[in-house]
């Protein structure tokens, strides 16, 4: 087979395969959405029941709104805790810190992405929860505070790496301009890079939020799973993901069981909205090469 | 998670058992194991978490004597046990409660009760409260009493722990002790008897409930209305928060599943049940 024709045929095959893979992925996502909507039907019929504030399944109350609030509250709190730290780390790695140390910090952040969420959750349940219980006196330690602290550590590398990639893509050009103007590297990061990258930071935040929203183990092991809207950071609460994990074991004929499909659908829609927002933000025009900063 | 851990642990045991007994196929198995002679294949068991120690011990003995039989034991909870066996995913589905009418209508299961288990209120070993009235227990779990000093203990907040919606332990506790009354929504929810043990043994001010058979000295059982929560009081009927433990099969069990069920009801099986802290029933 001649090299040229071989390449084109190979290319065509690859193209076909990739298009097929993309179609299958898209169909799978759509399929899940349709499937969830159909399976949640019993819950929709009783939508008045599902969208209430009272989850007491053994007394006939199947409201999952406290879990919707729990999920959003936890993801937002974790994001608020993680975002400033992540930007700080990215800035350190990008010129505020000494080069060698910066490389080590980045390597550590990369390594953090590989730690399974159950490891964070289990270690924290053994160490952080008793600590929170003793320090704050009120509550059992299974709380918004514990879960948000640990979850913020989980999403930290996601945010750092997206911000880092964004700044990296803004590139040499900007760096040289600053250098030519005699702006020190550190000040360039603070005064030039940071103000110019609002869009990249937003993208990073949205991705971090989606990651936080989707996590199950940390919420399941650290939130206490109480089906209530937490009155303080020291109260227990329940997320949609933990709710699914807990209720999936009940018998399938129960009205409680139908609520997990409603929970799944809400999660999927919120995650989809977050990811679409991230895409829009990432793919915007922009003076810089912001487009390249959006990883997906 | 605990079911994954249990299963993987069991696979190790199984592997060890398999290579061990090939070498010394000599020692005659106990007479109660004889019905397994000539049987082979896989038996998958899952469901109620109170059942796990009994199932594992029985599985270990059977697999040691007959390496060609593989038995896996998983958890998941009573709801999972019934659901999985009903859908034909496993051979025996364990439950710490009877099969509900709705479930029975869908799955046509056969139930084999094999043990009685009490469900006890549990506290941290350092807690001085070892005795409650039924009313006190109800008020505490309903969130009406929130401080240990109102129950005769130290001046500290009560940290409530309950079980998940699918738990058979929760079902019996709620029905027989709480009389289907309210449970505070602020209560923490844990997913297995093992998780309850971990939670209460680490929380000095915790208040929870779990299977009497799985209580050890890392936590303390609380007596009710002057009756201690023990295997003995549950046997003679003075302790009333009890339930039966069931194995369930879909329709007629397979030969291997039948042999397993018979073994749990045999003298040796009943000795295992008793040794794990439960009260064996005559014949399942």
Note whether A142 contacts B79, CB cutoff 8 Å: no
Taking the CA of residue A127 as centre, how many other CA atoms within 13 Å lie in the half-sphere pointing to its CB?
8
pLDDT, one tens digit per residue, over B16-35 is 444 444 444 445 678 889 88
A residues 81..110 contacting B (CB < 8 A): none
What is the pLDDT, as a whole number, of residue B20?
A: 45
Dump strand ranges (E) for B87-130. Answer: 92-95, 109-123
Q: Domains of chain B (ranges plus CATH)?
A: 34-115+245-280 (3.40.190.10), 117-242 (3.40.190.10)
CB of A55 less than 8 A from some CB of B: yes
- The CATH class, in words, for A50-293 is mainly alpha
Note whether A228 contacts B186, CB cutoff 8 Å: yes
Note whether A256 contacts B157, CB cutoff 8 Å: no
What is the pLDDT, as a whole number, of residue B7?
A: 52
Note whether A252 contacts B174, CB cutoff 8 Å: no
What is the pLDDT, as a whole number, of residue A199?
A: 85
What is the pLDDT, as a whole number, of residue A84?
A: 95
What residues of B are in contact with residue A225 (Cβ under 8 Å)? 164, 188-190
- Distance from the Cα of B237 to chain A's closest Cα (Å) equals 27
What is the pLDDT, as a whole number, of residue B284?
A: 45
Q: How confident is the prediction for chain B on average, in pLDDT?
A: 87
Residue B252 has pLDDT above 80, yes or no: yes
Best mutation target among B108, B166, B168 (most A Cβ atoms within 10 Å) is B166
Best mutation target among B83, B186, B193, B201 (most A Cβ atoms within 10 Å) is B186
Cα–Cα distance between B243 and B259 in angstroms, integer?
A: 24
Cα–Cα distance between B281 and B25 in angstroms, integer?
A: 32
Cα–Cα distance between B104 and A137 in angstroms, integer?
A: 47
ipTM of the complex: 0.79
Alpha-helical segments (H) within chain A = 3-39, 41-45, 47-50, 65-91, 99-112, 117-136, 144-180, 185-188, 194-196, 198-214, 217-222, 240-247, 255-283, 290-293
Note whether A58 contacts B157, CB cutoff 8 Å: no
What residues of A are in contact with residue B103 (Cβ under 8 Å)? 251, 253
- Phi, psi of B274, deg, nearest 5: -65, -40
Q: What is the mean pLDDT of residues B98-106?
A: 87
Q: Where are the domains of chain A?
A: 1-39, 50-293
Q: Determine how many CB atoms are found less than 10 A away from the CB of residue A21.
A: 10
Token pair in block for residue B164: 């998940």
Share of chain B above pLDDT 90, in %: 62
Q: Give the global pTM.
A: 0.80
What is the pLDDT, as a whole number, of residue A41?
A: 74
Residue in A closest to B46 by C-alpha: A249
Report whether A86 contacts A208 (CB < 8 A): yes
Residue B127 has pLDDT above 60, yes or no: yes
CB-count burial class (<10 Å; 0-12, 13-18, 19+) for B40:
exposed
Q: What is the mean pLDDT of residues B149-178?
A: 92
Share of chain B above pLDDT 70, in %: 89
Note whether A251 contacts B102, CB cutoff 8 Å: yes
- Distance from the Cα of A262 to chain B's closest Cα (Å) equals 17
Cα–Cα distance between A122 and A117 in angstroms, integer?
A: 9
What is the pLDDT, as a whole number, of residue A188?
A: 85
What is the pLDDT, as a whole number, of residue B231?
A: 82
What is the pLDDT, as a whole number, of residue B205?
A: 95
Report whether B271 contacts B263 (CB < 8 A): no
Note whether B79 contacts A249, CB cutoff 8 Å: yes
CB of A130 less than 8 A from some CB of B: yes
pLDDT, one tens digit per residue, over A85-120 is 999 999 998 888 888 999 999 999 999 999 999 999
CB of A235 less than 8 A from some CB of B: yes
pLDDT, one tens digit per residue, over B199-231 is 999 999 999 999 998 899 999 999 999 999 988
- Which residues, including other chains, have CB under 8 Å from residue A132's CB and lie 6 or more apart? A139, A141, A143, A145, A146, A234
Report whether B233 contacts B239 (CB < 8 A): yes
What residues of A are in contact with residue B84 (Cβ under 8 Å)? none
Residue in A closest to B82 by C-alpha: A251
Of B8 and B129, the one with more pLDDT:
B129
Residue B161 has pLDDT above 50, yes or no: yes
Note whether B182 contacts A59, CB cutoff 8 Å: yes
What is the pLDDT, as a whole number, of residue B27?
A: 59
Q: Which of B76, B106, B189 sits opposite A249 (nearest CB)?
A: B76
Cα–Cα distance between B266 and B284 in angstroms, integer?
A: 9
Going residue by residue through chain A, which has 296 residues, state the pLDDT in tens, using 9 for 90 and above: 444 555 688 888 999 999 999 999 999 988 988 888 887 776 666 666 788 898 988 888 888 999 999 999 999 999 999 999 999 999 998 888 888 999 999 999 999 999 999 999 999 999 999 999 999 988 899 999 999 999 999 999 999 999 999 888 887 788 888 889 988 888 888 888 888 888 889 889 999 999 999 999 999 999 999 999 999 999 999 999 999 999 887 766 677 888 888 898 899 889 888 888 877 876 654 444 444 444 43
């Amino acid at each position: 087979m001649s090299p040229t024709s071989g390449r084109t045929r190979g290319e065509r095959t690859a193209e076909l395969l990739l298009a097929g893979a993309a179609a299958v992925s898209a169909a799978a996502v759509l399929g899940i959405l349709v499937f969830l909507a159909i399976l949640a039907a019993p819950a929709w019929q009783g939508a008045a029941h599902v969208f209430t504030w009272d989850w007491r399944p053994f007394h006939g109350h199947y409201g999952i709104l406290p879990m919707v609030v729990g999920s959003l509250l936890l993801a937002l709190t974790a994001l608020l805790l993680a975002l400033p730290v992540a930007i700080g780390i990215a800035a350190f790695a990008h010129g505020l810190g000494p080069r060698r140390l910066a490389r080590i910090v980045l390597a550590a952040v990369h390594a953090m992405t590989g730690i399974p969420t159950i490891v964070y959750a289990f270690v924290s349940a053994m160490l952080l929860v008793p600590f929170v219980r003793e320090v704050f006196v009120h509550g059992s330690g299974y709380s918004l505070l514990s879960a948000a602290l640990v979850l913020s550590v989980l999403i930290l590398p996601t945010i750092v790496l997206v911000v880092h990639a964004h700044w990296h893509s803004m590139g040499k050009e900007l760096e040289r301009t600053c250098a030519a103007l005699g702006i020190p590297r550190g000040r360039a990061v603070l005064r030039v890079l940071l103000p110019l990258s609002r869009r990249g930071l937003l993208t990073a935040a949205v991705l971090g939020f989606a990651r936080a929203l989707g996590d199950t183990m940390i919420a399941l092991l650290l939130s206490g799973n109480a089906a209530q809207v937490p009155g303080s950071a020291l109260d227990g609460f329940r997320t949609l993901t933990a709710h699914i994990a807990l209720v999936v074991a009940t018998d399938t004929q129960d009205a409680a069981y139908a609520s997990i499909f409603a929970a799944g659908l809400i999660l999927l829609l919120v995650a989809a909205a977050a990811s679409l927002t991230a895409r829009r933000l990432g793919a915007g025009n922009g003076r810089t090469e912001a487009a390249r900063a959006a990883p997906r | 998670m605990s079911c994954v851990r249990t299963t993987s642990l069991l696979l190790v045991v199984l592997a060890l058992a398999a290579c061990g007994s090939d070498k010394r196929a000599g020692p005659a198995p106990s007479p109660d194991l004889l019905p397994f002679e000539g049987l082979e294949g896989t038996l998958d068991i899952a469901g109620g978490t109170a059942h796990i120690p009994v199932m594992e011990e029985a599985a270990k003995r059977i697999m040691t004597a007959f390496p060609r039989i593989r038995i896996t034991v998983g958890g998941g909870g009573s709801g999972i046990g019934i659901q999985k066996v009903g859908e034909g995913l496993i051979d025996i589905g364990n439950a710490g409660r009877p099969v509900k009418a709705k479930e029975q209508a869908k799955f046509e299961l056969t139930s084999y009760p094999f043990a009685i288990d009490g469900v006890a209120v549990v506290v941290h070993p350092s807690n001085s409260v070892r005795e409650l009235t039924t009313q006190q227990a109800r008020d505490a779990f309903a969130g009406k009493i929130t401080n240990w000093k109102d129950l005769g203990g130290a001046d500290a907040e009560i940290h409530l722990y309950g079980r998940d919606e699918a738990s058979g332990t929760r079902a019996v506790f709620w029905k027989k002790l709480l009389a289907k009354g309210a449970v505070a929504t602020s209560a923490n929810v844990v997913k297995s008897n093992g998780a309850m043990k971990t939670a209460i043994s680490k929380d000095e001010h915790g208040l929870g409930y779990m299977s009497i058979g799985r209580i050890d000295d890392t936590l303390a059982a609380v007596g009710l209305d002057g009756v201690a929560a023990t295997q003995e009081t549950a046997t003679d009927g003075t302790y009333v928060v009890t339930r039966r433990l069931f194995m369930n099969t879909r329709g007629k069990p397979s030969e291997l599943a039948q042999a397993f069920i018979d073994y749990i009801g045999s003298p040796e099986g009943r000795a295992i049940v008793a040794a794990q802290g439960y009260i064996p029933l005559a014949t399942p």
